[in-house]
Structure 1
Amino acid sequence: MALSDVPLPKGPPTTARGVRTRAALVSAARTVFERDGFLASRLTDITAEAQCSTGTFYTYFVSKEEIFMAVMEAAKDEMMHPGMPHVAEAEDPMAVIEASNRAYFETYKRNGRLMMLQEQVATIDADFRAQRLQRGEAFAHRNAKSIQKMQDAGLVDADLDPIMTSRALSGMVSRLAYSSFALGENWPVDDLVETTTLLWANALGLGNRVA
């Protein structure tokens, strides 16, 4: 297929009704994808779940792949902003790490089936794989900023590269969450939080530095 033959993604709706309809399609698509898996899901299943016509679907999306990306984008917002309990900046950095890990695991638990589908689709769709890498970079850079702040305050090992350390520690947390809530190991959230928080602290040298 020539590049000119590839349908362009649809733009955002311009009316309140359009926003509601698109959101209903995304919600319906998530239900279908989680129930049937990506490969087995059909557009007719999504439109039936959303109680709309195929024509309505094509008003907002060009393909099953595009609406799957929209589903994952909505999940990314929840994962990036999981409603972590407020922790004062002056509070013990250990408490900040613990609160962040807890919020991540609890959010991942709510999205475990979708996270499994994310890994599957990333192996068969290059565009989605690129987006998957971008999401991972967003997490890594956010955590790197926190590590850098602790280094600047003299709280953790200043010799650590913030972004590489963030990738390593974030990858550890992400893999544990995937094994537990996507693959079904079902470790208790409290145990996951306790272990990963201690590993973060030990890896960073938290408590061994002089401010």
Structure 2
Amino acid sequence: MTDGDRGPDVAVTDAPSPKGAPTTARGVRTRAALVAAARTVFERDGFLASRLTDITAEASCSTGTFYTYFVSKEEIFLAVMEAAKDEMLHPGVPHVEASDDPVSVIEASNRGYFEAYARNAKLMMLQEQVATIDADFRQRRLERGEAFARRNAKAISRMQDDGLVDAALDPIMTSRALSGMVGRLAYSSFALGMQWSVDDLVETSTRLWANALGLRYRDDA
């Protein structure tokens, strides 16, 4: 179950306020095409080397069209990250029954996260890059991490209520520690190229979650 010090608090730009959401079906399609094009360009060229003209060329639209929906490269990067956020936060974990043991639920959640991270590895690496140079984006990145931690803290709290986990553990601090571990494993494997398999990542992280919480791993005697 999931998600360093950053660089100096220097914003990339003093951009105007974000544009509002499009109000027509055509506008929604055009904006979505720009976001998809921006993701392609950012993943191909990196954030700093990407230009608005590269994005508009990829989307087959004019610069004027871009400015109808976005005010800057920074804003469309935030839109790209927002589009990926739901998949990362709710990655479509394998089905588990409500009656399944907690370790099976943790394992399914870890697997869903690692598989989603693998699909979004280039974008996750860019997230780390931009967070070092843009204070506003760094704050948003911290907020996304907090969303992961709070979701997992609720699960830990439920296990405490059921008498399965030490009640003295602070759910949110425990969640941050264990979620951070899973996040760094994913980053090391898929973004930095350690190349551990998903199965190995799931097995190790689930066993560590179980041991930390005092749960019996399924193949333990």
Q: TM-score, normalised by structure 2?
A: 0.90
Aligned to 2:121: 112
Helix, strand or coil for the counterpart of 2:21?
coil
Matches within 5 A, 1:85-164: 85-164=94-173
Equivalent pair of 1:156/1:207 in contact (CA under 8 Å): no
Aligned to 1:186: 195
- Which residue, 34, 38, 41 being the options, matches 2:47? 38
Aligned to 1:55: 64
Task: Please say if 1:83 is aligned against 2:92.
Answer: yes
Amino acid at match of 1:50: A
Question: Structure 2 unaligned runs (5+)?
Answer: 1-13
Q: TM-score, normalised by structure 1?
A: 0.95
Helix, strand or coil for the counterpart of 2:41?
helix
- Which residue, 80, 93, 109 being the options, matches 1:71? 80
Q: Deviations over 1:154-210 (max 9, x none)?
A: 1111111100000000000000000000111111000000000000000001149xx
Question: Structure 1 unaligned runs (5+)?
Answer: none
| Aligned-pair identity (%) | 82
Distance 1:207 1:157 in 2: 13
Distance 1:104 1:152 in 2: 25
Distance 1:97 1:169 in 2: 11
Q: Please identify, of 78-87 and 19-28, the stretch whose mean Cα deviation from structure 2 is larger.
A: 78-87
Aligned to 2:8: none
Distance 1:31 1:20 in 2: 17
- 1:152 deviates by 0.4
Equivalent pair of 1:140/1:166 in contact (CA under 8 Å): yes
Q: Deviations over 1:2-56 (max 9, x none)?
A: xxx8411001000011001000000000000000000000000000000000000
Helix, strand or coil for the counterpart of 1:20?
helix
Distance 2:15 2:63 in 1: 19
Equivalent pair of 1:157/1:206 in contact (CA under 8 Å): no
How many equivalent residue pairs? 204
Runs of 4+ in 1 over 3 A off after TM superposition: none
Distance 1:106 1:41 in 2: 27
- Which residue, 168, 185, 201 being the options, matches 1:176? 185
Higher relative contact order (CA 8 A, sep 6+): 2
Q: Please identify, of 82-91 and 63-72, the stretch whose mean Cα deviation from structure 2 is larger.
A: 82-91
Amino acid at match of 2:208: L
Amino acid at match of 2:88: M
Amino acid at match of 1:100: S
